[in-house]
Amino acid sequence: MTDARKLVVAISSRALFDLDESHRIFEEGGKEAFCRYQIEHEEETLAPGVAFTLVRKLLAINDTLRQPTVEVILLSRNSADTGLRVFNSIRHHGLDIVRAAFTNGASPFGYIAAFGADLFLSSNAEDVKKALAAGHAAATILASAKPATDSGQLRIAFDGDAVLFSDESERIYREQGLEAFAEYEAAEARKPLSGGPFKAFLATLHHVQTLFDADESPIRTALVTARAAPAHERVVRTLRAWNIRIDEALFLGGKAKGPFLSAFGADIFFDDQQGHCHSASQHVATGHVPHGVANLDTPPA
Catalytic center residues: 159
Residue from 89, 78, 76, 165 nearest 127 by CA: 76
Phi-psi region of 298 (alpha: psi -120 to 50; beta: other; left: phi over 0): beta
CA-based Rg of the chain, rounded to a whole angstrom?
19
**178-187 and 168-176 helices cross at what angle (nearest 10)?**
140
H or E element, residue 287: strand 286-288
> Are the C-beta atoms of 297 and 62 separated by less than 8 Å?
no
Distance CA 108, CA 117 (A): 12
* CB count in 10 Å sphere of residue 149: 18
Q: Please give the Cα distance from 163 to 170 (Å, whole number).
A: 11
**Amino acid residing at 13:** S
Residues near 125 by Cβ (< 8 Å), separated by ≥ 6?
Answer: 140, 288, 290, 300, 301
Q: What whole-number distance in Å separates Cα of residue 58 and Cα of residue 147?
A: 18
What's phi and psi for 203, nearest 5 deg?
-60, -40
Return d(Cα 73, Cα 7) in angstroms, integer: 11
